[in-house]
Structure 1
Amino acid sequence: MNVPGLAQLPPAPSRAPALTALRMLLALAVVFVMLAITGWTAVHRPEAGVAPRRAALASWAAARIDGHPLPPADAPVRTVKRFFAGLDGAQRARLADGYPLVVGNLDGAPATTRYRANLRSLAQAQQVEEARAADVALTPADRATALRRAHRFASLAEPGRQILSFDPTGGGLVSEVFGDLDRARRVSVVVPGVDSDLLTFERSQRRFTAPVGMAGSLYEAERAAAPGTPTAVIAWAGYTSPTGVGVDAATGRLAVEGAERLESLTAALPGDAGVALFCHSYGSVVCGVAAHDLPRRVTDLVVAGSPGMRVENAAELNTSARVWAMRDSGDWIADVPHMELGGVGHGADPVAPEFGARLLSSAGAKTHTGYFQPGTGSLDNFAKIGTGAFGSIVCATGNDACRRGISGTGGA
């Protein structure tokens, strides 16, 4: 009401921006409390074992084979492929045996040559750790860790295993292939999240929460889903992942480093098979950062239990790959603030409708670590994507919404 002679007060400002800012501050406070509880400093693995890798790189840089120089260890994949294509079998074997820590991790070298190199590296690393386990000058804790590492290396070297990469430096990097990588018409890569290293690469208990169990489970599911389609699955713990839910898990530093390695891996895969990435937890951050630089042969990018992909929507990933997402109703990751502020947090929630991902059913997954458990709807959907059987994928919405626009699926 206007009262003559009285100045009119300006309209009250909207409270919406203030409430939005308050929510963001509260969410950020939750993140910082989480980091304070879990520890800001317990995020780096020890660098024990760095000397052998450095020595191997130095030897490789100075070496020649039959008078020809070797390509730099950080040479582009196409350069490495061209170099090894010009060698015969005996020459490849000589390099694998003479420089196993280099050849075994050299993207672009033939898979079988890398398997041979890594078998030798594992034997050498096992001997080192067995000696450390018997060294009374070390603390009991260090000796126990050395013994665990020796046992892990012995397990990885068992007959029939195909170790595509192996570096014992620090917590270690490792990847393993299930199936015939050279003959595969479809290749799947499992990109795990936090606490993925040599010692956690496989587990006897809670088997399907570790990279080996996850990839092995997916490989068997793909074989069941498409018996006539040659497939291969890679368990890829080939990047330094965060240790626990600390500062590294809440930021993108390790994801950026991991993305470079993931881009190199996918570029180096043999043949022209289509590739699907299955990115779990922090692994989805790695996949999100890598997305715009992945080769076009990567046709599908699947995230499960994601804290975010460091973008606000799927379009910002700038990838030609189809983007899929799922989250179990009991997954605690839903309570993590899906935002990014000052480098902390990973952005929007991939299962939010406005993000724009194709939403998949995760029926039966049960919590954050159950997505690769045999018999679950989540694993069944993974296998269908991995084999290209898109027509029978089960969407989170119960209709065909996630299949729409894919040729041959019957979706509108």
Structure 2
Amino acid sequence: MVLSSWKRRGRRTLVAAALTTTVIAGTAGWASAHEQRPLTGPPPGTASWRADHALPVRMPDPASATPAQVGSFFAGLSPSEQHELVVRHPSVVGNLDGAPIALRYEANARALRAERDRAHAVAGDATRTEQERSAARARAERCGELLAPQRRILAFDPRGRGQVAEVYGDLGTARHVSVIVPGSDIDLDSFDRARDPYGTPAGMARALYRATDARTAVVAWVGYTTPVGLGPDAATGRLAEAGAPRLARFAQGLVAVGAPRPAVFCHSYGSVVCGLAAARLPASDLVVFASPGVRADSVADLHTRARVWAARDDSDWIAKVPNVELFGLGHGADPTSSSFGARRIPAEKAEGHTGYFTPGTDSLRAFTDIATGDSTGDTS
């Protein structure tokens, strides 16, 4: 009897896994996706940082120092010493979780100018291919946009497809902080694209910031290598496993500089990253929406002290992806199911996979209450 039951469950799992493959392949095609190599390890420029012995104190190793240790190091420096590190090592300081926020803004402005100048040089190099020159022109334009005076860039890494974190509001004075974690197809070039504005982390962050009447600071965080398309990378946890420690460290860095524990909003594949990071994430709230699963069977399996919320609208295609995890394929239980145990968020007015932050939706109203600490229970 037990064996028969096990066989039935096994067959159901195999069928679900096959259906997962079929849905993903039918939605975008395995061939349309390109396997991504995740960025891991310390910030660019770390080797130069490690070789710098100009200060009378030992500098923390970006690869191993905790954000709290980084914060203590900078607290022991004079303003002029801090500034000198920004000048000599902008790529490290700009991405060093635990470093003072204002210093990171200054460092990333320098790094952006350097990347813009490098891209301009490539664009004007007649020995390069037209494809290389075109990509360089686009990168130079992107850097120029991010250098606009009103923009606050908390992280910038030009390697690969590029990563960035942008702040809306004042992290130094905000009583509440939120972090947006994106899903597939998001990188330096696409994190604030004009089309589908509420489907990008920058668009989501702006919408949430405005909906709170500036009562919170919101960070659009593109700090991990996202899947491209809906192929093998999106169906497995490989990129999420590489991104989870980066997200946890980023949030720890916010807390280390005095910011409140953030509410973390996780879209689509970003919810897989959040699920794997949950136990190390100093979050007040963990909000997963349009989620294919979080690699856990229940809220208890996340091992988090944060309140866990889940949302999915009826028109979201993600509902067609079976909630299974087998041989690394799929992401597990549906976070919106009653058995998972998350607090439900209404999303009847949201439309599609990227409509949850659209102004006027019930989901954005609920997100706003969570972000400002006004929500105390199930909002459905």
RMSD: 2.3
Whole-Å separation in 2 of the counterparts to 1:161 and 1:41: 32
AA partner of residue 43 (structure 1): E
Q: Relative contact order, CA 8 A, sep 6+: which one is greater?
A: 2
Determine the C-alpha separation between the residues in 1 that align with 2:10 and 2:38: 39
Alignment-derived partner of residue 34 in structure 2: 42
Q: Write the distance in 1 (CA, Å) between the matches of 2:289 and 2:355.
A: 10
**TM-score for the superposition, normalised by structure 1:** 0.85
In structure 2, C-alpha distance between the alignment counterparts of 1:27 and 1:46, rounded to whole Å:
28
- Provide the rounded CA distance (Å) in 2 between the counterparts of 1:152 and 1:284: 27
Note the C-alpha offset of 1:272: 4.9
**CA deviations over 1:54-109 (Å, ceiling 9, x no partner):** 5x222111113443332111211111101100112222111112111110000010
Counterpart secondary structure, 1:390: coil
Q: CA deviation at 1:183?
A: 1.0
What does the per-residue CA deviation read over 1:379-399, in whole Å, with 9 as the maximum and x for residues that have no partner? 11111000011159731xxxx
- Equivalent pair of 2:178/2:262 in contact (CA under 8 Å): yes
Residue deviations 1:323-375 (CA, integer Å, cap 9, x gap): 10000100000001111001111100001111111111013210001111111
Counterpart of 1:38, as a letter, is W
Q: Secondary structure at 1:119's aligned position in 2? A: helix
* Aligned positions of 1:53-202 closer than 5 A: 54=44, 56-74=45-63, 75-202=65-192
Extract unaligned runs of 5+ from structure 1. 1-11, 396-412
Question: What amino acid is aligned across from residue 244 of structure 2 in structure 1?
Answer: A
Write the distance in 2 (CA, Å) between the matches of 1:350 and 1:46: 26
Which position in structure 1 is the counterpart of 2:267?
Answer: 280
When residues 108 and 13 of structure 1 are mapped into structure 2, their CA distance, relative to the original with a 3 A threshold, is closer
Deviation at 1:19, TM superposition (A): 4.6
* Structure 2: gaps of 5 or more residues: none
> Which residue number in structure 2 is paired with residue 336 of structure 1?
321
The answer to whether residue 237 in structure 2 is matched with residue 245 in structure 1 is no
Q: Does structure 1 retain, via aligned residues, the 8 Å contact 2:95–2:154? A: yes
1:175-214 Cα deviation digits (max 9, x unpaired):
0111111111111000011111101111122212111111
Partner SS state of residue 262, structure 2: strand
Taking the aligned partners of 2:20 and 2:297, their CA distance within structure 1 comes to 19
SS in 2 for 1:217: helix
Q: CA deviation at 1:25?
A: 1.8
| Partner Cα distance (2:276, 2:95) in 1 | 22
Q: What is the CA distance between 1:314 and its match in structure 2?
A: 1.1
Q: Secondary structure at the match of 2:284?
A: strand
Look up the equivalent residue of 2:11 and give its one-letter code: L
For 1:227-242, list aligned pairs within 5 A.
Answer: 230-242=215-227
**Equivalent-residue separation in structure 2 for 1:107 and 1:377 (angstroms):** 34
Letter aligned with residue 271 of structure 2: S
Which one-letter code corresponds to 1:69 in the other structure?
R
The answer on whether the counterparts of 1:101 and 1:121 sit within 8 Å (CA) in structure 2 is yes
Contact 2:349–2:362 under 8 Å retained in 1: yes
Query: What SS does structure 1 have at the residue aligned with 2:286?
Result: strand
How far apart, CA to CA, are the structure 1 residues paired with 2:246 and 2:156? Answer: 13
Work out whether residues 173 and 197 of structure 1, in 8 Å CA contact, stay in contact via their aligned partners in 2.
yes
Q: Which residue pairs with 1:21 in the alignment?
A: 10
Report Cα offsets for 1:195-250 as digits up to 9, x if no partner: 11101111122212111111111111112xxx6xx421000001111111121111
Match of 2:252 in 1: 267
CA change 1:364–1:310 in 2 (3 A) is same
Cα distance change on mapping 1:361 and 1:13 into 2, 3 Å: closer
Q: 2: CA distance between counterparts of 1:392 and 1:283?
A: 23
**Residues 366 and 207 (structure 1), Cα distance of their counterparts in 2 relative to 1, 3 Å cut:** same
Q: Which letter does structure 2 place at the counterpart of 1:184?
A: A
Alpha-carbon shift at residue 13 of structure 1 (Å): 10
Q: Is 1:348 paired with 2:333?
A: yes
Note the C-alpha offset of 1:172. Answer: 1.1
Task: Provide the TM-score with structure 2 as the length reference.
Answer: 0.92
Displacement of 1:160? 1.6
Q: Percent identity?
A: 47
- Residue 293 and residue 337 in structure 1: after superposition, are their counterparts in 2 closer, same or farther (change >3 A)? same
Letter in 2 for 1:73: P
Q: 1:294 aligns with which of 281, 291, 297?
A: 281
Which residue of structure 2 lines up, in the alignment, with residue 407 of structure 1? none
Supply the distance in 1 between the matched residues of 2:135 and 2:359 (Cα, whole angstroms). Answer: 31
2: CA distance between counterparts of 1:245 and 1:70? 42
Q: Which residue of 2 aligns with 1:313?
A: 298
Q: Evaluate the alpha carbon distance shift between residue 46 and residue 148 of structure 1 in structure 2; reply closer, same or farther with a 3 A threshold.
A: farther
- Please tell me whether Structure 1 or Structure 2 has the larger radius of gyration of its CA atoms: 1
